[in-house]
Structure 1
Amino acid sequence: MGAALLVSGLMAVGTVIIHMLGLMVLMGFMRARSDHLHPRRSAFRQSVFILMVVLGLFLIHAIEMLAYAALYYGLGEFLTFEEALYFSVSTFTTLGMGDIYIESQWRLVAAIEGFNGFLLIGWSTAFLVTVIGRLRAIEFDWLDRLGDEDD
C-alpha cells in the first residue's frame, strides 16, 4: 500500500503541474488573440476563440490521462496500451465502467486518479466559465459605451 500511495501522490502532483502549465499556455494564447476580438464584428472570432480554449482543455486532459495510462502499462497492469488508456479515461472521468479493472496492489492509484480527474475537470470547468464570462463582460461593456454615445 505504501508504494501505491507514493505513486498516487506523485501522479497527482505531476498532473496538477501539467494542468497548471497547460492553463498558463492557454492564457498566453488568449492574451495573444484577445486584441482580435471586437464585440461588434467578431461573433465568429469569439466562437473560434472559445472552441480553441475548449480544445486546449481537452488536450491538457488527454495528456494527463495518457500519463496515467503509461503508468498502468509500465506497471504491467494491462497487456496493451489501448486497455490501459481505456481504463485511465474511464477512471479519470469518474465513469468507472467496471468492465476492466486492476486486481493488484495498484488499485489505490486508480482511486486517486478518479479523485484527481474530478478535481482537474472541475478546475477546467471553472476556467472555461471565467473565459466565457469575461467575453460576455467585454461585449456588455462595448454595448454600454455604444448606448452612451447614442444619448
Structure 2
Amino acid sequence: MIGQLALGTLVIAINAVIQAEMFTAFAQQLEKIIIHLRRIFRRFANTATIVICVLFVMSVQTVNVWVWATAFYLTGVFQAFEPSLYFSLVTFSTLGFGDIILDEKWRILSGLTAANGLLSFGWSTAYMVELVRRTQ
C-alpha cells in the first residue's frame, strides 16, 4: 500500500510540474498568438484563440494521461501499453467504465489516477476561464 501511495504521489507531482510548466509557457506566448490571429482572422480572432486554447489544454491532459499510462506499463501493472493507456484515460477522466480493473495489489493507483484527473480538469477549467478573459 505504501508503495502504491508513493508511486501515485510521484506521478501526481510529475503531472503537476508538467501542467504548470506547459500552462506557464503557453500563457507567456498568448499575447503574440492573439496579435497574430487578429491579423489573420480579424472578426473571428477571439474564436480562433479560444479554439487554440482548448486544443492546447486538451494536449496537456493528454500528456498527463500518457504519464500515468507509462507508469502503469513500466511498473508491470499491464503487460501491454494499449490497455495501460486505455485504463489511464478512462480513469483519469473519471469515466471509469470498469471493463478493466486493477489487481488488488495495484488498485489504490486507480483512485489516485482519478483524483489527479479531477484536480487537473479543475485546474484546466480555471486556466481556460482566464485565457478566455484575456482574449476580450
TM-score, normalised via structure 1 length: 0.82
Shift of 1:49: 1.2
Q: How far off is 1:61 after superposition?
A: 0.7
For 1:32-82, what per-residue CA distance to the aligned partner results, in whole angstroms no more than 9, with x for missing partners? 2233465xx823222221111111111111111001001111122222211
Structure 1 segment 126-145 matched on structure 2, within 5 A = 126-136=126-136
Matches within 5 A, 1:69-148: 69-136=69-136
Instruction: List alignment gaps of at least 5 residues for structure 2.
Output: none
4+ residue runs of structure 1 moved beyond 6 angstroms? none
- Alignment length, in residue pairs? 134
Long gaps (5+) in structure 1: 137-151
- Does residue 50 of the first structure (1) align with residue 50 of the second (2)? yes
- Counterpart residue identity of residue 60, structure 1: V
Deviation at 1:135, TM superposition (A): 2.4
Larger Rg: 1
How far has the Cα of 1:109 moved from its partner? 1.5
Corresponding letter in the other structure for 1:58: M
- Tell me if the contact between 2:34 and 2:135 (Cα under 8 Å) persists in the aligned partners: no
CA distance in 2, matches of 1:30, 1:123: 18
TM-score normalised over the length of structure 2: 0.90
* 2:49/2:135 contact within 8 Å kept: no
Q: Does the CA contact (< 8 Å) of 2:91 and 2:114 recur in 1?
A: yes
Matched, 1:59 2:83: no
Contact 2:8–2:113 (8 Å) recurs in 1: yes
1:139 matched residue in structure 2: none
Match of 1:142 in 2: none
Percent identity of equivalent pairs: 30
Q: What secondary structure sits across from 1:95 in the alignment?
A: coil
Measure, in 1, the Cα distance between the counterparts of 2:43 and 2:127: 20
1:123 & 1:53 partners in 2: Cα distance?
Answer: 14
Q: Distance in 1 between matches of 2:37 and 2:52?
A: 14
**Aligned Cα RMSD in Å?**
1.6
| Distance of 1:133 and 1:11 partners within structure 2 | 31
The corresponding residue for 2:14 is: 14
Tell me the SS of whatever aligns to 1:34: helix
